[in-house]
Structure 1
């Protein structure tokens, strides 16, 4: 297919300074460093300070992304914020970020309910805005503060997640053949990853609070089975749409849910594991931001070169998943 002429012009990441090691978690949970590393590959993660919110991380990640792209907030035509841990139900987190940055002419969009797949959906929307000419520069920010929605008493979720934000600036690609070559999205309704309370079905109240229903609930076995099936299949579908095989892909920027899931996905694809950069070991599962942390690693460290093909792929609660295939 003809590429959508879109490129990543700059990237940025923000990591809260509070480093939470496995041993620190083991002080209050029935777990150990050895158990967590064996099951997840995670050694530490970051937690946001109590007086800050997701929008603060968004702004902190956006600034270096704009600098990397050689532009300012006033040059941005649209801001898309991908998060399931928004500052509050209303107003829009993207609008809060817009005001904080001074991006006065930017349209604002929030993508919220695909959880860890929010970021890939936001990149797709941003690419379409650039391709149609509706925006010349789109600032896409993915951030989550999972420490606020995981139960401090539940080792099933508490050990997996961390807080972080990542940002990219999308602009029009000019290199011949460069751009978004293909994509794939899918979904299967499931309640195996959910936050049961806080919406119109179960409004937050004394009972839901006492039952801890406002915290994230996760069936780890179902997550493993779905992720190791759907992520590789989605990558194959997106690369096939692009007219490529996975052997022609230089970089696999995969959702950083769990080191074992990333390895299993790469093994199923039959691709060397070293083509998939890793941040989950030191950041944990950072939700919407996960793919952005490895994108930033690839671009900021000069690993991604002109002519390279890369995929960005994630799966989140719902279940919803998606893959984008780009050529630089």
Structure 2
């Protein structure tokens, strides 16, 4: 769906009024442990040159064995709340976007709620769009803010190191662990807010974790067959990402009434530098408008877009009235783009 409709078929939409919400604060959390390409070459049949050429990644982070996704999420959440000058008790909802939740039950969002003391918040989890989870969570938050909520925390946190096969070069070199968070509030800044969005999907099993659900429950055989690890067809990911991301970005820009070349910032899924370069080239937009964090963090799943947004925000690169896009694609395949205009005044309106 978009401010349009869901699907791989091209769609168009009329310009609509902005949803008056804004990013009031951002935060990230990165695990301490750094894994370089050289370290990976000791156990995988690969080289530093191959990894950099194929992915643009030089190093990535790994979460400590005694910690879980909720620990990263809570740390990023506290950082975002500080940036927004809000308390956890101000939150009306917490949405955690992760395909690597602490455990099947209970809710990871509920665990984060308890860790940060957000006693009034409704906990929600978005789980199965993988790297697109975070953008779906922001769209849900935007609609909650139109109904009753005044402040919503969205946390995108993934710990892919727990679901990647250490023997598999295809997945082993790509992924890193990280969490990113945004606090969304209502805004009264004229013309600011969520201008448009586009989401689409096309069922594919080219990225999957086969076992552990109702179709293939956990057994000794599924463990022995390594069916609980992430499997990925890199060629299928490349083909889908390089076609659907530019299309989704153009559709969202059109819905916002903006030429795509006039968008100020592009916060894209930090999956693979070659995919990002191909998408920006297809759009005819200079690469300097798309911040890169994957070189030092790897593919951090849905957290990647949030890390790019956070780094631009803390460096003061997002100015009053700027427009920016957030775009990602995840397993399924599912993809989406959000188009924002940054407020010209304080975005937080909790009165």
Q: TM-score, normalised by structure 1?
A: 0.99
Q: Distance in 2 between matches of 1:65 and 1:23?
A: 33
2:182 to 145, 156, 168: 168
SS in structure 2 of the partner of residue 236 of structure 1 = helix
The residue aligned with 1:87 is: 102
Q: Structure 1 residue runs of 4+, over 3 Å off?
A: none
1:65 to 75, 80, 85: 80
Q: Distance in 2 between matches of 1:173 and 1:319?
A: 33
Show the 5 A alignment for 1:248-263.
Answer: 248-263=262-277
SS in structure 2 of the partner of residue 171 of structure 1 = strand
Q: Distance in 1 between matches of 2:186 and 2:195?
A: 14
Instruction: Note the C-alpha offset of 1:174.
Output: 1.6
SS in structure 2 of the partner of residue 28 of structure 1 = coil
Show the 5 A alignment for 1:264-279.
Answer: 264-279=278-293
The residue aligned with 1:129 is: 144
The residue aligned with 1:318 is: 332
The residue aligned with 1:55 is: 70
The residue aligned with 2:126 is: 111
Instruction: Note the C-alpha offset of 1:131.
Output: 2.1
The residue aligned with 2:41 is: 26
Over aligned residue pairs, what C-alpha RMSD do you find? 0.5
Instruction: Note the C-alpha offset of 1:125.
Output: 0.7
SS in structure 2 of the partner of residue 138 of structure 1 = strand
Instruction: Count matched residues.
Output: 327
Deviations 1:243-287 (A, max 9, x none): 111122000000001011011100000000110000000000000
Q: Distance in 2 between matches of 1:277 and 1:127?
A: 24
The residue aligned with 1:6 is: 21
Deviations 1:123-167 (A, max 9, x none): 1111111122x2100000000000000000001001000000000
The residue aligned with 1:156 is: 170
Structure 1 gap segments, 5+ residues each: none
Q: TM-score, normalised by structure 2?
A: 0.93
Instruction: Note the C-alpha offset of 1:204.
Output: 1.2
SS in structure 1 of the partner of residue 252 of structure 2 = helix
